[in-house]
């Protein structure tokens, strides 16, 4: 229950924040969504796979603001770095997945830019035998939330209240994530 609730809430919050900060990507997602849905206002199962740009934006938001920013593992074998230093088998390590001061670039996840990327280079749902079994469901939840929001609102950040990120078990903002949601009649 915890993983399906807090992490999804964190992911949706930070995704909407990224969309608010980057109106050009917000608009491109909105256009893609409107093209896919046509006259419909609700998403259907077959629509998810067609949301290529929207998916790239979601992945980029998860890369910059992973709902679970720290992953711990015990090394099952020694690790040797290129400079010759090693870490022994049995050592417990913690990896920080949280990147700060990075550029929001959804094209990082375009097919041509991610073709040769190692599967462990993008870890918002962990990887390997301990990956999140609900990752596809979570991605679809993020898409539905974004679709329903962008069809109704033009997002912008509240410049008076920027979030203060605190990477805990789940990435949160100490002061909340404040956005402006003015309804736009032209949408």
Q: With left for phi above 0 and alpha for psi between -120 and 50, is residue 59 left, alpha or beta?
A: alpha
Question: For residue 19, with 0-12 CB atoms within 10 Å meaning exposed, 13-18 middle and 19 or more buried, which class applies?
Answer: buried
User: 148 with 134: CB under 8 angstroms?
Assistant: no
Neighbour count for residue 69 (Cβ, 10 Å): 21
User: 29 with 150: CB under 8 angstroms?
Assistant: yes
The alpha helices in 22-134, defined as continuous H runs, are: 23-37, 52-64, 111-114
Q: Is 132 annotated as a binding residue?
A: yes
CA-CA-CA-CA dihedral for 50, 54, 58, 59, to nearest 10: 60
CA 89 to CA 83: how far, in whole Å? Answer: 18
Tokens matching residue 13? 């919050």
Please enumerate, by residue number, every residue annotated as part of a binding site for heme: 132
| Residue list for the binding site | 132
């Amino acid at each position: 229950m915890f993983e399906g609730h807090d992490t999804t809430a964190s992911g949706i919050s930070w995704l909407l924040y990224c969309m608010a900060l980057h109106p050009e990507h917000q608009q491109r997602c909105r256009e893609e969504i409107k093209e896919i849905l046509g006259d419909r206002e609700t998403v259907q199962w077959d629509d998810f796979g067609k949301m290529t740009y929207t998916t790239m934006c979601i992945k980029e938001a998860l890369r910059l603001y992973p709902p679970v920013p720290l992953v711990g593992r015990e090394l099952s074998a020694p690790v040797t770095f290129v400079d010759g230093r090693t870490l022994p088998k049995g050592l417990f390590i913690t990896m920080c997945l949280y990147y700060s001061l990075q550029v929001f670039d959804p094209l990082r996840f375009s097919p041509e830019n991610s073709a040769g990327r190692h599967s462990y280079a993008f870890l918002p749902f962990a990887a390997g035998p301990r990956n999140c079994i609900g990752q596809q469901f979570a991605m679809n939840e993020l898409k539905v939330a974004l679709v329903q929001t962008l069809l109704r609102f033009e997002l912008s950040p509240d410049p008076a209240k920027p979030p203060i990120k605190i990477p805990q078990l789940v990435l949160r903002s100490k002061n909340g994530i404040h956005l402006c949601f003015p309804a736009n009649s032209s949408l």
